[in-house]
Amino acid sequence: MKFFIDTADTDAIRRFAAMGLLDGVTTNPSLIAKTGRSREEVIVEVCDLVDGPVSAEVVAVERQAMVDEGLALAEIHPNVTVKVPLIPDGLAACREMTASNVKVNVTLCFSPVQALLAAKAGATFISPFIGRLDDLGQDGLELVADIREIYDNYGLETELLVASIRSTAHVRYAAKLGADVVTVPPKIMDQLIHHPLTDTGLKQFLADHEAQQ
């Protein structure tokens, strides 16, 4: 399973990339706004840090405007994947951009049938938002399982990119369900790395070594 990091914080991206953990990055207008920098400046820096897909989201909501904005984003760097919302114009824009060999991440997916339609439209990635479903008392991981089954039934090549990750358990179950990618906030990435028993064991090993000196 591939790991993307869900942030526009270049310091965090640099830190995890140095560990060899990152296969890509997802951003959105909210994450980029937090940096206080221009979208193009952030995208260029992120693409230089990670050798993999970097999702940059359009803010337009009409098909032609999405296509124009998406093609401009794709020109910034070869690693850019254009992110569009799962709405009718978004699917149409996805179809048009993929026909021009632009990678597209269709985002804000909340049902298996939406995911099927995105794959039909040629999406490179589909991003189900499991945490937001959990917030409503639904089972976001059930959505992941349903999409995986449907895609496998028909040999669809769209990659299942699990988003809105809220816990390490989300990552574990997404992996067990066969997700192609998870995109994880820096906080959760740190939680995946650390374990109290690892810290305790290391402390004991070091103490034992020191006692022998």
> Residue 77 burial by CB count (10 A; 0-12/13-18/19+): exposed, middle or buried?
middle
In the numeric block, which tokens belong to residue 64? 């032609």
Catalytic positions: 83
Residue 148 phi/psi, 5° resolution?
Answer: -55, -45
Per-residue model confidence as pLDDT tens digits over 12-69: 999 999 999 999 999 999 999 999 999 999 999 999 999 999 999 999 999 999 999 9
Pairing of strands 2-6, 24-26: parallel
Q: What is the pTM of this model?
A: 0.94
Q: What is the pLDDT of residues 137-194, one digit of tens each?
A: 999 999 999 999 999 999 999 999 999 999 999 999 999 999 999 999 999 999 999 9
Name the band, by pLDDT with cuts 50, 70 and 90, for residue 212: confident
Architecture category of domain 2-211 in CATH: Alpha-Beta Barrel (3.20)
Q: Quick one: pLDDT at residue 108?
A: 98
pLDDT at 211: 84
Judge whether residue 199 has pLDDT over 90.
Answer: no
Locus of tokens 């049938």? 113
Q: Note the pLDDT of residue 207.
A: 84
| Domain locations along the chain | 2-211
